[in-house]
Amino acid sequence: MKISIITPSFNQGSFIQEAIESVLAQQYANVEHIIVDNCSTDGTSEILARYPHLKVICEKDKGQSDALNKGFKMAAGDIIGWLNADDKYLPGCFDHVLEGFTKNPEFDLLYGDYRFVDAQGKLIRVRKELGFDAFMLKYLHVLYIPTTTTFFRRKVFDEDNFLDIEYHYAMDYEFYVRLASLGYWFGHIPWLMADFRWHAQAKSQQIAKAKAEMEKALLSHDQMLRRLPAVLRVLISHLFMFLARAKRTVLKFCHGAYFIK
């Protein structure tokens, strides 16, 4: 099976070489790595020029979602991964993905476990995840499916599913909730597959903006909440969030996932 990796890029010259090298380190021959760069001005182009195997789109875009969509549409792989320029794959990642899709033909996308690291790549903590749960996905108000370990079958994009470019901070949450509501099957791989970099310039630091977009996405895809009066909607939403977080806590405790650094 061919694997396509899509990396959106904008002034991530400090990290993008590690992302590229982490794909090469998988030592998988049938892979293409597509970089969609928003005309970076920090030396990124010089780094990309060192790797002639890359497929590079360098042009202005309308944000990260737009850049990713360009890559998804260009991808020729049977399996498509989303790797941000400041993250990186861990050894064996592709092996686990290929095995997961081969053994589970019903799954349309797979996600794995990951590590939080700082700007220098130093370990902050390990995050072991749980199997897919639509209730937790919708109501946790914290996205527990990491994009950096998510891989899609190409049918997801062949069937005209792409990121909504109106979302800049919670585009992944909106996309996953939409795919779940359309009936696509999610699967979890219980292996450490990638490093998610936590640093001051990361978009993931924009917590308030991400939360606002998540609330917008939830209303857009939850007919029951949308029908409720505003006051009742807030109460029910908070109740569901409490239940979803309680469920996650119990499940992670039972699986030993809270005993990981």
**Domain holding 100: CATH number?**
3.90.550.10
Q: With contact defined as beta carbons under 8 Å apart, do 8 and 15 qualify? A: no
> 36 is written with which tokens?
């969609």
Residue type, 95: D
Question: What residues have CB less than 8 Å from 26, skipping those under 6 apart?
Answer: 89, 91, 92, 93, 94, 95
Output the pTM of the full model: 0.91
136 vs 147: CA distance, rounded Å: 16
How many domains in the chain?
A: 1
- Residues 175-229 have pLDDT tens digits of 999 999 999 999 999 999 999 998 666 555 567 888 889 999 998 888 888 888 8
Locate all alpha helices (DSSP H) within 171-255, ordered by sequence: 171-181, 207-221, 223-227, 230-254
The pLDDT, as a whole number, for residue 260 is 46
* Domain boundaries, position 210: 3-259
Cβ proximity of 9 and 54 under 8 Å: no
Q: What is the pLDDT of residue 73?
A: 97
Beta strands in the chain (DSSP E): 3-9, 31-37, 55-58, 79-82, 88-89, 109-117, 123-127, 151-153, 186-197
Q: What pLDDT is recorded for position 258? A: 53
Angstrom distances, CA of residue 202 to CA of 27, 136, 180, 235: 28, 24, 27, 32
Give burial (CB, 10 Å; 0-12/13-18/19+) of 92. Answer: middle
Which residues of the chain fall below pLDDT 70?
Answer: 199-206, 256-261
**Contact 19/44 with Cβ under 8 angstroms?**
no
